[in-house]
């Protein structure tokens, strides 16, 4: 049997060789890992204390990672669960939102104005068409108003958005704007039909009889253009809250 031997100045474990018939002992094989340690012995530091060895690091019962890492809610915490759809709790009060799922619902189709107009006039609903561009600051500022109409009035109002960044240059085709346009649309969760207009902006403005953007066209449920709002952000301009939403409510009341 191995015997433990304590030597002055340190702790040693003396591993004796097993006996063989006849009483002769087989010498222990010399160690090649540490030439300074006698064969068959493991030398520990003089001040070694096994009670001070720290246990392996693990996540505690609260499922939280070490400081600076991802913190997960404790198991059984239902405070972050979505509330029923008919609850009065506003969506903005949720602690967690599924941004990836929302982003997947955003689409962007390349089409010319004729195709866009054809779709917008055949929805069977009052339809709002917002013509905008990445270079137009008032467009970006007012765009969330269109998202709000789709959210709050979507049962009776169809919303379309038309990006007009393409100006006809062959070196910058309409598709070259797609990454940035998609990024913006996803950031505001624009889940209605979105179009990357392949009609050059000058031709588009001439067709719509507008000189600048943002421009919002409103069609009635039969596809007739009934109102056009142009410009935003100045005294003569429009806002969704002050101008477009009240007009839509009046129009819907007459349908």
Q: Which whole number is the average pLDDT over 163-182?
A: 97
- 23 part of a folded domain: yes
CATH number at 164 reads 3.40.30.10
Domain-embedded: residue 24 = yes
- Domain assignment of residue 26, given as a range: 8-49
* Residue from 142, 200, 209, 195 nearest 166 by CA: 200
Higher pLDDT, 48 or 151: 151
Number of domains in the chain: 2
Measure Cα distances from 206 to 111, 163, 172, 176 in Å. 17, 16, 21, 23
DSSP character for 127?
E
Check residue 22 and report its DSSP letter: T
Give yes or no: residues 122 and 247 share one domain: yes
Beta strands across the sheet bearing 10-14: 3-7, 10-14, 41-44
Average pLDDT over every residue of 226-241: 82
131 occurs within a structural domain: yes
- Please name the residue that has the structure tokens 């094989």: 29
- More confident call, 15 vs 216: 216
Reading phi first (left if > 0) and then psi (alpha if -120 to 50, else beta), residue 67 is in beta
CA 97 – CA 209 distance, rounded (Å) = 41
For the chain, where are the alpha helices, taking DSSP H only? 99-104, 113-120, 137-153, 178-187, 201-208, 245-254
Q: Is the pLDDT of residue 78 over 90?
A: no
Cβ-Cβ contacts under 8 Å for 172 (sequence gap 6 or more): 166
Cβ-in-10-Å burial (0-12, 13-18, 19+) of 4 comes to exposed
The yes-or-no verdict on residue 195 having pLDDT over 90 is: yes
Residue 81 lies in a domain: no
Reading the block at residue 185, the tokens are: 């649309």
Tell if the pTM clears 0.85, that is, is over it.
Answer: no
Cα(44)–Cα(204) distance, integer angstroms: 84
Higher pLDDT, 19 or 238: 238
> Do 106 and 223 belong to one domain?
yes
Residue with the bigger pLDDT between 50 and 128: it is 128
Residue 92's pLDDT is 34
Cβ neighbours around 17 below 10 Å, total = 14
Write down the pLDDT at residue 236.
Answer: 64
Mark whether 224 and 141 lie in a shared domain.
yes
Per the model's pLDDT, the better-predicted residue between 109 and 81 turns out to be: 109
Q: Which two tokens stand for residue 62?
A: 């609260």
Residue 135 within a domain:
yes
pLDDT digits (tens, 9 = 90+) for 85-139: 443 433 333 232 333 334 458 999 999 999 999 999 999 999 999 999 999 999 9
Q: What is the mean pLDDT of residues 168-180?
A: 97
Residue 213: its pLDDT value, please? Answer: 96
> Has residue 60 been placed in a domain?
no
Within this chain, do residues 135 and 228 fall inside the same structural domain, yes or no?
yes
For position 234, what pLDDT does the model report?
A: 54
């Amino acid at each position: 049997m191995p015997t433990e031997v304590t030597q002055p100045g340190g702790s040693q474990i003396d591993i004796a060789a097993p006996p063989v018939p006849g009483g002769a002992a087989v010498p222990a094989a010399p160690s090649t890992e540490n030439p300074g340690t006698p064969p068959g012995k493991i030398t520990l530091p003089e001040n070694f204390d096994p009670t001070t060895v720290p246990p392996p690091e693990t996540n505690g019962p609260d499922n939280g990672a070490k400081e600076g890492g991802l913190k997960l809610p404790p198991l059984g915490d239902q405070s972050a669960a979505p509330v029923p759809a008919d609850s009065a709790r506003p969506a903005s009060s949720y602690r967690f939102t599924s941004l990836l799922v929302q982003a997947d619902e955003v689409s962007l189709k390349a089409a010319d104005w004729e195709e866009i107009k054809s779709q917008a006039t055949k929805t069977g609903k009052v339809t709002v068409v917002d013509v905008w561009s990445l270079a137009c600051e008032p467009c970006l500022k007012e765009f969330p108003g269109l998202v709000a109409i789709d959210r709050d009035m979507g049962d009776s109002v169809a919303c379309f958005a038309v990006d007009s960044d393409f100006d006809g240059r062959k070196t910058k085709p309409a598709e070259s704007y797609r990454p940035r346009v998609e990024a913006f649309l996803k950031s505001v969760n624009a889940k209605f039909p979105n179009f990357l207009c392949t009609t050059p902006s000058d031709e588009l403005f001439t067709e719509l009889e507008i000189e600048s953007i943002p421009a919002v066209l409103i069609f009635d449920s039969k596809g007739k253009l009934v109102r056009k709002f142009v410009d935003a952000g100045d005294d003569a301009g429009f806002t969704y809250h002050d101008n477009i939403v009240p007009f839509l409510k009046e129009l819907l009341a007459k349908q």
